Amino acid sequence: EAPILKINNLKKHFQLSGNRVLKAVDGLNFEIKRGETFGLVGESGCGKSTAGRTIMRLYEPTDGEVIFGGRDVRKLRGAERQKFTSDMQMVFQDPYASLNPRMTVGKIIAEGIDIHGLYRGNKRTERVHQLLDAVGLNEEHANRFPHEFSGGQRQRIGIARALAIEPKFIIADEPISALDVSVQAQVVNLFKKLQREHDLTYLFIAHDLAMVKHISDRIGVMYLGKLVEVADSEKLNAKPLHPYTQSLLSAIPIPDPEVQKTRERIILQGEIPSPLNPPSGCPFRTRCPSAMDKCAQSMPAYKEVEQGHFVACHLY
């Protein structure tokens, strides 16, 4: 089956003052299959949110293609373009900033319904109630305002808004990072439930590999605007190839102390370099415990080393 989303050499560069260029996203290649959850992870500033926004076309790509449902989204016009904007929805990181404080919850949720003219009158009210129910809230909440809700509830409102026009694909940009640890699991479970019920595909963006590995079928690891490794979630966990992925995994505590003993924590030296001035050759070389001479000279190619397992590193 053809993937629902295919990203070819996607780039988003920002032109800054003084002729500087921020290569926030610098040549991504990956696919997402229908019905799966693809986790995109990396430290803050690695370009993962920019990647999500560029795929959504909130940003115009500098280069590369976004193929959605077999179509190059740049070439969509009129009704097809409309269809794309309803098929792909986003859930944002900050459930405080992303909900208009002057609008009632019902109005916030119905915004997309109104824009696309889907339901009116009683049907519209019914639909809003149905959506509140789907995300674990209730009818009375429709007339209240965002400030009356907790962070977790607000994120449920954001999810209901994204669901309102029956999208096929949801980009969730760190949807639980701003929430209390105690409610994070509930919101993750809600995402899983909705995926089953509504046949959704997710691009799940996070800085925390520990969280993403539980929800994702496959994972892509980003560093300084590039993908360094992509693999099945299980494979990535059991046999990470890239030294950066290995270091991220080594930082996750393992509940079983016997297994924990066998795993060595890999501490990276130094800070993540500025994306305005990335190192020559491999972008990870300034922090890599395995760096060799050639790592400074040439950028490692991004290649498939085993079926479905991609890595960009001179070790392979």
User: Where on the chain is the footprint of Mg ion (CB under 5 A)?
Assistant: 49
Residue 49's binding partner out of ligand SF4, Mg ion, none, with CB under 5 to 8 Å set by partner kind: Mg ion
- Closer residue to ligand SF4 in complex, CB, 238/315: 315
Q: Please check whether residue 139 is in contact with residue 183, taking contact to mean a CB–CB distance below 8 angstroms.
A: no
Three-state SS for 193? helix
Contacts 24+ apart (CB under 8 A), 7-11: 7/31, 7/55, 7/64, 7/65, 7/66, 7/67, 8/64, 8/65, 8/67, 9/63, 9/64, 9/65, 10/51, 10/54, 10/55, 10/61, 10/63, 10/64, 10/65, 10/66, 11/61, 11/62, 11/63, 11/64
Three-state SS for 138? coil
CA distance 89 to 202: 10
CB of 255 to ligand SF4, least distance (A): 29
* Using rule CB under 6 A, residue 290 touches ligand SF4: yes
Residue 97's binding partner out of ligand SF4, Mg ion, none, with CB under 5 to 8 Å set by partner kind: none
Half-sphere exposure of 232 (CA within 13 A, CB side): 7
CA distance 301 to 39: 22
CB of 243 to ligand SF4, least distance (A): 5
CB of 42 to ligand SF4, least distance (A): 14
Residue nearest to Mg ion (CB): 49
CB of 46 to ligand SF4, least distance (A): 15
Count of residues interacting with ligand SF4 (CB under 6 A): 14
CB of 21 to ligand SF4, least distance (A): 22
Residue with tokens 């994972």: 219
* Using rule CB under 6 A, residue 64 touches ligand SF4: no
Give residues with Cβ within 8 angstroms of 42, minimum separation 6: 48, 207, 221, 222, 223
CB of 291 to ligand SF4, least distance (A): 4
* Using rule CB under 6 A, residue 301 touches ligand SF4: no
- Closer residue to Mg ion in complex, CB, 36/174: 174
- Closer residue to Mg ion in complex, CB, 131/228: 228
Residues 243-272 that bind ligand SF4 (CB under 6 A): 243
* Using rule CB under 6 A, residue 295 touches ligand SF4: yes
Q: What is the layout of strands, in order, in the sheet containing 169-173?
A: 88-91, 169-173, 201-206, 37-41, 218-223, 226-232, 309-312, 302-306
* Using rule CB under 6 A, residue 278 touches ligand SF4: no
* Using rule CB under 6 A, residue 284 touches ligand SF4: yes
Residue type, 221: V
CB of 83 to Mg ion, least distance (A): 27
- Closer residue to Mg ion in complex, CB, 167/175: 175
Task: List contacts with ligand SF4 (CB under 6 A).
Answer: 242-243, 282, 284-285, 288, 290-292, 295, 300, 313-315
